[in-house]
Amino acid sequence: MAVLPSDREDILNKRAFAHVATIGPNGEPQSNPVWIDWDGEFLKFSQTTSRQKFRNLRRDGRVALSAYDPEEPYRYIEVRGKLERVEDDEGNAFINSMAKKYLGKDEYPWAQPGEQRVVLYVRPERSTKQ
């Protein structure tokens, strides 16, 4: 059986924000909305290496996220998984692709000089849906 229900995968390819929850250094939950991408195997999102979410995931790779269908807000998917790998976002290629998906812009407009951006790959392990 697939980890993600096939009747909810479409949400992950829409302009749906995902609220990503990680575990903070003192065991407290931390949650923020992020842009997401689903490639059929991994949920991917971008972070800078200076962010708490990145530090949380480097320390403890467990993650939960939920996203609802922007066209039907009572339809959602919740996914739990683990960070499998981190890759440099060379030339901001990934965040620029997310800016195209979410903003219709070719380049991510909020890039800061000197920030190091990475792509986080989360392997889903379980999911629930509504």
Number of folded domains that form the chain: 1
Residue 120: inside a domain, yes or no? Answer: yes
Residue 83: inside a domain, yes or no? Answer: yes
- Predicted confidence at residue 96, as pLDDT, reads 98
Domain containing 63 — which CATH number? 2.30.110.10
Residue ranges making up the domain that contains 48: 9-125
69 bridge partner residues = 72
Residue 1: inside a domain, yes or no? Answer: no
pTM score of the predicted model? 0.94
- Predicted confidence at residue 129, as pLDDT, reads 80
CB 24 within 8 A of CB 52: yes
Residue 51: inside a domain, yes or no? Answer: yes
Residue 106: inside a domain, yes or no? Answer: yes
Residue 85: inside a domain, yes or no? Answer: yes
One digit per residue, the tens of pLDDT, for the chain of length 130 reads 478 888 999 999 999 999 999 999 999 999 999 999 999 999 999 999 999 999 999 999 999 999 999 999 999 999 999 999 999 999 999 999 999 999 999 999 999 999 999 999 999 999 988 7
Residue 3: inside a domain, yes or no? Answer: no
Alpha helices in 4-113 (DSSP H): 9-13, 52-59, 93-103
Residue 79: inside a domain, yes or no? Answer: yes
CB 33 within 8 A of CB 70: no
